[in-house]
Amino acid sequence: MSTGIFGLQTTISNSVRISGIGVHSGKPATIVLQPGEADQGILFERYENGKRISSFKAVADNVGPTALCTVLGTHPGEWIATIEHLMAAIYALGIDNLVISVDGAEMPIMDGSSRVFVDALDEAGIVKLSKQRSYIKVAKTVRVENGAGWAEFSPYDGTRFDVEIDFETPVIGRQKWAGDMNADTFRKELSGARTFGFMRDVEPMWARGFALGSSLENSVVIADDDRVINAEGLRYENEFVRHKTLDAVGDLAMMGMRFAGAFRSYRGGHALNAAAVRKLFETPGAAVIVSPRGALPFRLRQEGVVAAGPAS
């Protein structure tokens, strides 16, 4: 198996800062990626005016709302939103331990893809630690459905994503991306795919307090006459499904460790991705943890909120 799930745990060599705006809040957003210790996992810490408000480990137990993005936490005063593009880069580049300090409630959207995060992690440098990885092995098929959409995990000798979307608009239509996931594949085929939306949805979303920072600089926008209005057009012929796959990589990174298995979805999204992870974890015998000590039974309850509420 050459998927990068075996071997030593990793982190980054140096800290790196990324600044932009939040796609939903429209407010300035700055994050600092810092090296983590072995077995620490991916840890997000939210700060307001220099004071730590909350801290969440990036695991499925801590996933909150999934309507338009993936959120850690359930209370707006504490949660950290729109983490999926960063988490996709972290997972694809094989980084196991990281501390992410967040100034505010949301990740910076940057250009709407994972490319800036990949570049930042490369700049920080990836180093190996002294401890071996554990990983999740999918042992039997599980499936969730929501209307016409569905998502499933199944056993596979590697890590594979197979994502299909189907939109009525002819500019998207039915698109599919499938392949084994590794750093090179992610860099070349997925990392630059941008989030997208429809012009007709903008005002209703604004009214609900969403997409206040969305623009042609960070989103592919489809007009009412079914054309892409971004002057530069698309980065890939099937950029839409590539971005949905990028999102799936980020959402499945919330499993808390790497996984060996195949993930397939049709007309999926953040909510269905999260539901599939829950189904995998809740189904007896569907997943096992493979560790340096051998196979261990999977326990649903992972390390959850590390710290919530005011902290000094």
Which residues are identified as catalytic? Answer: 270
Cα dihedral 244, 45, 95, 289 sign:
negative
255: amino acid identity, one letter: M
Residue 75 sits at φ, ψ, to 5 deg, of: -110, 125
207: amino acid identity, one letter: A
For residues 13 and 61, the answer to whether their CB atoms sit within 8 Å is no
SS3 content of the chain, % helix, strand, coil (to 5): 20, 35, 45
Distance CA 213, CA 134 (A): 38
Longest dimension (CA), the chain: 58
Name which of 120, 105, 76, 62 is nearest 251 in CA terms: 62
DSSP E strands, the chain: 8-12, 16-21, 28-35, 42-48, 51-57, 71-72, 80-81, 98-103, 126-132, 135-138, 142-146, 149-154, 159-166, 174-180, 196-198, 220-222, 259-266, 287-291, 294-297, 305-307
Bridge-based pairing of strands 149-154 and 294-297 is unpaired
